[in-house]
Amino acid sequence: QVQLVESGGGLVKPGGSLRLSCAASGFTFSDYYINWIRQAPGKGLEWISYISRSSNMIYYADSVKGRFTISRDDAKNSVYLQMNSLRAEDTAVYYCAREEYDMLHIYFDLWGPGTLVTVSS
């Protein structure tokens, strides 16, 4: 079954850390670029990070740059998001999404169900 499944969310205090995982199955994981996208409660979608095949290119949104680190382990078919110095405004459902290409077009064709991160004292 082709799927992505996130894990690692939970309640953390401001200033704390959390590591999210995104496990892939049913497809050749190493062939794909992966993104993390989050959604604060009742709000819209915010892209936060991207990792290319072989980790050659990594990008972050300004809102998380310097605090979050994306990585991947193709042997484990997984992508990770290490989140440090967490703030209340990082509270959100975090999705990982597979990036696909068609000619010059890019789209997120496969999403995980998400994992909720709550930052609160």
Partner 1 sequence: EIVMTQSPGTLSLSPGERATLSCRASQSVNSNLAWYQQKPGQAPRLLIYGTSTRATGIPARFSGSGSGTEFTLTISSLQSEDFAVYYCQQYNNWPPYTFGQGTKVEIK
Binding stretches for partner 1 (CB under 8 A): 35, 44-47, 50, 59-62, 95, 102-109, 111-114
Q: How far is the CB of 93 from partner 1 (least distance, A)?
A: 9
Does residue 94 sit in helix, strand or coil? strand
Q: Closest CB to partner 1 among 5 and 16? A: 5
Provide the residue type at 103 as one letter. Answer: M
CB of 56 to partner 1, least distance (A): 15
Closer to partner 1 by Cβ: residue 66 or 75: 66
Q: Which residues contact 118 (CB under 8 A, 6 or more apart)?
A: 9, 10, 11, 12, 91
49 or 78: CB nearest partner 1: 49
* Least Å from the CB of residue 5 to partner 1: 11
Distance from chain centroid for Cα 119? 17
Cα–Cα distance, 118 to 72 (Å, whole number): 24
Distance CA 97, CA 79 (A): 10
Closer to partner 1 at the Cβ: 11 or 59? 59
How far apart are CB 32 and partner 1 at their closest, in Å? 14
